[in-house]
């Protein structure tokens, strides 16, 4: 489904509060892809979130989204695929979770990708979807989990989206690499 990718910019997080791409998202491409590798939170059980800016301002873009996931714990006693209504958004300006409860044990991390479509449109909403595989923190006697998270939705605005920001819900991004591509 994807065409030729052109790297626009990249960021390496190291004890960073957030990673933002505030340039390079414009009308040049109809689709942008963000790939993130080995996102490791400083705080145990933090949620990886994404937000989108209008005119450089984050936290004010209304979104309606879906969130579902497959999960299984390492002991193999708890597994399933389910919609998670507590992690979707309904006309909210909150950041959208794209992975949750990621562990901060030394080997734990999350990786995945997000596509954003036609962010510069001034007539349509802006669709996005992501898939992230995460190493979920220890949940008591249930142990640690693998999670396969799918978040999707639209920025419900006809204003151009000009930036994307990734933040953990608590604490810093201890390590991680994020790459912004344009798709032609």
Please tell me what DSSP assigns to residue 57. B
Q: With left for phi above 0 and alpha for psi between -120 and 50, is residue 36 left, alpha or beta?
A: beta
**Binding test (CB under 8 A) with another protein, winner from 23, 81, 90, 158:** 81
Cα–Cα distance, 112 to 138 (Å, whole number): 21
Coil/strand/helix, residue 23: coil
- Which one of the spans 16-24, 51-59, 70-78, 158-166 is the region binding another protein (CB under 8 A)? 70-78
154 or 179, CB closer to another protein? 179
Residues 125-184 contacting another protein, CB under 8 A: 131, 133-135, 144-148, 175, 177, 179, 181
CB of 127 to another protein, least distance (A): 19
Coil/strand/helix, residue 122: coil
User: Any idea which residue has 């006809």 for tokens?
Assistant: 158
Residues 91-130 contacting another protein, CB under 8 A: 106-113
| Residues 177 and 10: beta-carbon distance below 8 Å | yes
Cα–Cα distance, 77 to 82 (Å, whole number): 16
CB of 90 to another protein, least distance (A): 23
70 or 84, CB closer to another protein? 70
Positions that interact with another protein (CB under 8 A): 4-7, 10, 35, 37-38, 40, 70-77, 79-81, 106-113, 131, 133-135, 144-148, 175, 177, 179, 181
């Amino acid at each position: 489904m994807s065409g030729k990718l052109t790297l626009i910019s990249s960021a390496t997080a190291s004890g960073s509060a957030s990673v933002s791409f505030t340039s390079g998202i414009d009308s040049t491409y109809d689709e942008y892809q963000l790939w993130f590798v080995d996102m490791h939170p400083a705080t145990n059980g933090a949620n990886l979130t994404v937000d989108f800016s209008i005119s450089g301002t984050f936290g004010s873009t209304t979104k309606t989204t879906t969130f579902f996931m497959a999960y299984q714990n390492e002991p193999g006693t708890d597994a399933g695929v389910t919609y998670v209504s507590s992690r979707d958004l309904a006309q909210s300006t909150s950041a959208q979770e794209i992975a949750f409860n990621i562990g901060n044990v030394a080997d734990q991390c999350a990786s995945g990708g997000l596509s954003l479509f036609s962010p510069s449109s001034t007539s349509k909403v802006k669709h996005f979807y992501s898939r992230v595989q995460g190493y979920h923190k220890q949940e008591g006697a249930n142990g640690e989990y693998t999670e396969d998270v799918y978040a999707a939705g639209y920025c419900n605005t006809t204003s151009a989206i000009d930036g994307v920001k990734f933040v953990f819900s608590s604490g810093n991004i201890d390590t991680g690499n994020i790459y912004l591509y344009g798709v032609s």
